[in-house]
Amino acid sequence: MQLSYLQKQEFYKNGYLHIPGVVPKVMIDQAMRKINHSIGNGIPSDEVERLRIVSFCSELRHDRCITDMLYKSPAIDLVESLVGSGNLKPTNYGQIAIRFPLMDDPPKVPYPHLDGMHAPLNGIPEGIIENFTMLVGILLSEVAENNAGNLTVWPGTHHQYEKYFQEYGAKTLLEGMPPIDLPEPVQLKGKPGDIYFCHYQLAHTAGPNVTPYPRYATFYRLFHVDKGLSHWPSMEDIWMEWDGMKKVVQDEAGKLI
């Protein structure tokens, strides 16, 4: 299963891609059963905020019910059609991300971030940017409307941040989010088994959830095998780790000449 040229063009332009129906229902059901069993055993109230940022059900993060959704489904072929076969370090865990209903009225306006920046509860030390290559999200529950805990993205900001870092240096991210003019955000919808691919450098967040139901998803942060060498350079040249995107990147660059 491979992505088409048109899909890659969309990914180039927007920095994200939504592919419906990738993960089989049997795998979704198995993961949901184990996740809900875990939650049914209780969540310490003083841990909820940290778990919301890091991962719920920490004992399941390495379970095959989580990792198989990425590696034993068509998802991995789609991933490699973007970055090239064998170009990613294997990962043996995922983030179990649940967005429980809030009582906010009206919902709070979502604010964007890039992953890998220090925050009080995320375990990343100050003075470090733990950037990666691709964010993969798998929906485990239906998201049919806005403000339902949607993965929220700011299309095209991967290009804007690339230009900013080319001018001012990637390490300026240590000082906080770059001051760029943001486009309107898009709250992504979908059904269980749908997959989202996001470029690392795309501004995103989890939107508010004011529906009656939790939103369930898993996320995987994937690293290029040469990330140790490309750590900072890949933020100033955002396609250097994406071998499967070379043709599209070359064609789009040619349009600017």
CATH number for the domain that contains residue 21: 2.60.120.620
- Please state the pTM of the whole predicted model: 0.96
pLDDT in tens, 53-75: 999 999 999 999 999 999 999 99
Residues in CB range of 28: below 8 A, 6 or more apart: 69, 140, 192, 193
Q: How many CB atoms lie within 10 A of CB 80?
A: 17
Distance CA 192, CA 85 (A): 26
pLDDT given for residue 150 in this prediction:
98
How many structural domains compose the chain? 1
Residue type, 220: Y
Residue 87 belongs to what domain range?
Answer: 5-255
Total length of the chain: 257
pLDDT given for residue 257 in this prediction:
56
pLDDT given for residue 34 in this prediction:
98
Q: Which residues of the chain have pLDDT under 50?
A: none
pLDDT given for residue 203 in this prediction:
98
Distance CA 193, CA 230 (A): 32
pLDDT given for residue 253 in this prediction:
87
pLDDT in tens, 90-136: 999 999 999 999 999 999 999 999 999 998 888 899 999 999 999 99
pLDDT given for residue 121 in this prediction:
86
